[in-house]
Structure 1
Amino acid sequence: MLILANSEKTAAQEFHDATNLSYINLLTKPPLYKSYTGLSSIPLPQSDAPEMPTLEALARPATTGTAPLDLLSISQLLHYSAGLIRKSVSPSAGEVHYRAAASAGALYPIELYLVCGELDGLAAGVYHYSPAGHALTKLRTGDLRGNLAASADDETLASSPAIIISTAVFWRSAWKYRTRGYRYCFWDNGTMLANLLATASAVGQPARVIAGFIDFQVDLILGLDSREEASICLIAVGAPEEQPAAASESMEVIDCGDLGFNDAIPYPESRRLHIEAALTSAQEVGRWRVETQVRETNVFGEIASAPLGESISCRGSTRRFAREPISYDQLSALLAVSSVTMPTDFGGRLTEPYLIVNAVDGLVSGAYHYSRIKSELQLLREGEMRNEAGHLCFEQAL
């Protein structure tokens, strides 16, 4: 069993108690949607759900493509990565919105923007995505892909038909999770990225993640108030065009939009961390960058999976789990597709996967490390660990 010092246990329990649903009023949480006054919305067309099997979409990132990127493709990418998929009503939380990607506490701190050249059905410009209305709001007119390319020290962005940019509204997470909310924003960004990259694969559009860029320049392009909202990553989408876009020499200051709150509590530690991690020059971006070699997998073999659109639309969360075992092949498939290396500029592997196995046919219960290189599990400690797992998650029924 994991042994914690008394001070560690006390701090962890205090954090859990303070963020438990019994101790906060969900009706006072920050608004989930950003808005712009006086700017018109462009409704996005309703699109078909991606039909590629989920495991296949996760296992084989699209690196090349010939289909043109158009407004319908943009609609699919945005809806199945961050769109509103359904609503419900809860006595304690009021109206609950379920988005395509899961979010810690259903607070949804991630916003999406689009910078594009001329597309079929959409003029070149800078846009904000509204999940609630499944619409785009134009923030700037004109092609600014060249400016993004300069900010990221990456000429290929100037030839990408479109770049989707994710940002984090820090107070949405900090309202519940305090200083630790800064970390939660990046977790939420990861769930959104998983959906976006899988959807891009399913619709045959190449996609690449760029996390290194000059922060204040990208924030300026989007018109962000960097004290409340900041750029997290860029996702280049679509087959490269022959003629790269040139950078615009001047940009007007634009409205930063309305986040719907003015009572955010400052957390200096989070702010300081973000400032210290920012890149401020092309030289810093270049030194930081590590390109990734894409690595696919075929390990999922005969394991069937639902169409990607269905998997996303049906997603939810639970604290109660079935006790029936899964097969070793099913677990292997899940581990393999979640370990695929995607096209990124940061090396692609920032974490190591560990797991507690309780009920997998053909596999001894215990704690394991999963080797991505060898595609195999390494037993670290044998034994039944349901109680320990539940204890680590503050007595959840695991």
Structure 2
Amino acid sequence: GDFRGALAAASADGDAARRPMALVLSAIYWRNTWKYQARGYRHFFWDSGAMLANLLAAAGALGFEPRVLAGFVDREVNALLGLDPEREAALEIIPLGPLSPPAPPAPPVDPIDYPIVPLSSEAVDYPALREIHSASMLDTPEVVRAWRRAEPLPARSPRAPTIGLPEPRREAGRAFGETVLRRASTRQFSHEALSALELSTALASAAGGIPADFPSQLVSLYLIVNAVEGIEPGSYCYWPGGNGLELLSPGDHRSRSAYLCLDQPLGGDAAAVIYFLAPLDAILTRWGNRGYRIANLEAGYCGGRAYLAAYAQGFGASGLTFYDADVGRFFEPHARGLDAIFVTALGRSARGGAREPAPLRIR
């Protein structure tokens, strides 16, 4: 049957009933909690954000006009897909394709209860994760509409003159399909420098904004620059409006960056490390507990865009875990009031990686 009407009602989005298809990303809890326990919750949104970076780039290139719906009635969408909320949950809805006549009324949604093959012989339950997710659910379409009416965050601006970066490339590196196939997490960085143009392109791509039912640029991009041609080593804040860097503290921060990235050498060996920070208190005030979802989702999406720009240009990237509070303290006082959300390291692989000329549109 045609269930677009049911999906549109649950998401309080009439356009969802007029698109020829929709994708729903979900998270199976155990796939993350086996390693990260209850803290795996934020990985749901980092990972789905990275998937959306690939999906939206491909869908946009095909003219599918993608838009992410993070607001919906969780209970109804989970039931529509037959998801057991004790083990799996819907995260985002992505209607795709050109507008068409509205879908007919949806048929009754019968319960789905197919037998499944378990991921492993046993799984550990982390009740805190399910409690967190339940606390951020939306109960009715009216609540979804009210959630979307939240006021955007006030704009931030530099406190000091910025260092202009080269105009980002609009086309660079490998073709899109090859970029996605080659995309991986770099396991060892050399200390070889990136060019300022390569960094500029990666930052502009990361900060490009996500087409969604919540305002973009909830996260700010802070950096530790270790080896970028023409840019002094130090810590910076990136300002996408003017494509510039605001210097916060000059100096060699390689060892500190490795420490901040959970004592992982990747954080010190990379040419540059992007720290995505967001004002969680302000976000939770505006968007309630679901604000935690969208902050992590946008950070994962921005990190995924940085990945694509890196691999398109012939160098590598790696998403890293980190010491949350210490990251915030490192960038104070400039980042006071912001919380660490995600980290992406950029650099050349110690195993090499030649640049290739086939064009890819990255913006």
* TM-score interval for Structure 1 and Structure 2 normalised by the shorter chain: 0.5 to 0.7
Task: Give the residue type in structure 2 aligned to 1:156.
Answer: D
Superposed displacement of residue 237, structure 1? 0.7
**Alignment-derived partner of residue 219 in structure 1:** 78
**Alignment-derived partner of residue 144 in structure 2:** 285
Correspondent of 1:388 among 244, 256, 269: 256
Indicate the SS of the match to 2:60.
helix
- Report if aligned partners of 1:147, 1:246 keep a CA contact under 8 Å in 2: no
Matches within 5 A, 1:276-355: 276-289=135-148, 299-301=167-169, 304-355=172-223
Q: Does 1:162 align with 2:21?
A: yes
**Alignment-derived partner of residue 372 in structure 1:** 240
Task: Give the residue type in structure 2 aligned to 1:199.
Answer: A
User: Where does the alignment leave 5 or more consecutive residues of structure 2 unmatched?
Assistant: 153-165, 270-363
Q: Distance in 2 between matches of 1:359 and 1:290?
A: 43
CA deviations 1:94-113 (Å, max 9, x no partner) are xxxxxxxxxxxxxxxxxxxx
Indicate the SS of the match to 2:6.
helix
**Alignment-derived partner of residue 266 in structure 1:** 125
Q: Distance in 1 between matches of 2:170 and 2:13?
A: 39
CA deviations 1:76-105 (Å, max 9, x no partner) are xxxxxxxxxxxxxxxxxxxxxxxxxxxxxx
- Report if aligned partners of 1:366, 1:379 keep a CA contact under 8 Å in 2: yes
Q: Distance in 2 between matches of 1:291 and 1:328?
A: 37
Q: Distance in 1 between matches of 2:107 and 2:171?
A: 53
Indicate the SS of the match to 2:116.
coil
**Alignment-derived partner of residue 66 in structure 2:** 207
Correspondent of 2:46 among 169, 174, 187: 187
**Alignment-derived partner of residue 70 in structure 1:** none
- Report if aligned partners of 1:291, 1:345 keep a CA contact under 8 Å in 2: no
Superposed displacement of residue 292, structure 1? 11
- Report if aligned partners of 2:27, 2:89 keep a CA contact under 8 Å in 1: yes
- Give the 3 Å change call, closer, same or farther, for CA 347–184 of structure 1 in structure 2: same
Q: Distance in 2 between matches of 1:263 and 1:323?
A: 43
Matches within 5 A, 1:1-398: 142-241=1-100, 243-260=101-118, 261=120, 263-289=122-148, 299-301=167-169, 304-393=172-261, 394-397=263-266, 398=269
- Report if aligned partners of 2:2, 2:107 keep a CA contact under 8 Å in 1: no
- Report if aligned partners of 1:209, 1:233 keep a CA contact under 8 Å in 2: yes
- Give the 3 Å change call, closer, same or farther, for CA 256–272 of structure 1 in structure 2: farther
Choose 1 or 2 for highest CA Rg.
Answer: 1
- Report if aligned partners of 1:157, 1:163 keep a CA contact under 8 Å in 2: yes
Task: Give the residue type in structure 2 aligned to 1:301.
Answer: R
CA deviations 1:229-286 (Å, max 9, x no partner) are 0000001111111x10133252111125525146221212111110010000112101
Per chain length, whose mean CA-contact separation is higher, i.e. which structure has more relative contact order (CA < 8 Å, sep 6+)?
Answer: 2
User: Where does the alignment leave 5 or more consecutive residues of structure 1 unmatched?
Assistant: 1-141
Superposed displacement of residue 369, structure 1? 1.0
- Report if aligned partners of 2:236, 2:246 keep a CA contact under 8 Å in 1: yes
- Give the 3 Å change call, closer, same or farther, for CA 178–361 of structure 1 in structure 2: same
- Report if aligned partners of 1:206, 1:239 keep a CA contact under 8 Å in 2: yes
Identical-pair percentage: 39
Q: Distance in 2 between matches of 1:183 and 1:151?
A: 24
Superposed displacement of residue 318, structure 1? 2.5
Q: Distance in 1 between matches of 2:172 and 2:179?
A: 12
- Give the 3 Å change call, closer, same or farther, for CA 288–257 of structure 1 in structure 2: farther
Q: Distance in 2 between matches of 1:202 and 1:150?
A: 28
Q: Which runs of 4+ in 1 moved over 3 A?
A: 290-293
- Report if aligned partners of 1:303, 1:330 keep a CA contact under 8 Å in 2: no
Task: Give the residue type in structure 2 aligned to 1:357.
Answer: V
- Give the 3 Å change call, closer, same or farther, for CA 367–272 of structure 1 in structure 2: same
248-257 vs 379-388, greater mean Cα deviation = 248-257
Q: Distance in 1 between matches of 2:150 and 2:72?
A: 14
CA deviations 1:314-357 (Å, max 9, x no partner) are 12222311221111111111111111123210112231111110
Superposed displacement of residue 381, structure 1? 0.9
Indicate the SS of the match to 1:168.
strand
**Of Structure 1 and Structure 2, which has the larger fraction of its residues in helix?**
2
**Alignment-derived partner of residue 314 in structure 2:** none
**Alignment-derived partner of residue 48 in structure 1:** none
Task: Give the residue type in structure 1 aligned to 2:46.
Answer: W
- Give the 3 Å change call, closer, same or farther, for CA 315–240 of structure 1 in structure 2: same
- Report if aligned partners of 2:68, 2:95 keep a CA contact under 8 Å in 1: yes
- Give the 3 Å change call, closer, same or farther, for CA 251–311 of structure 1 in structure 2: same
Indicate the SS of the match to 2:53.
helix
The alignment covers a number of residue pairs equal to 252
CA RMSD of aligned residues (A): 2.1
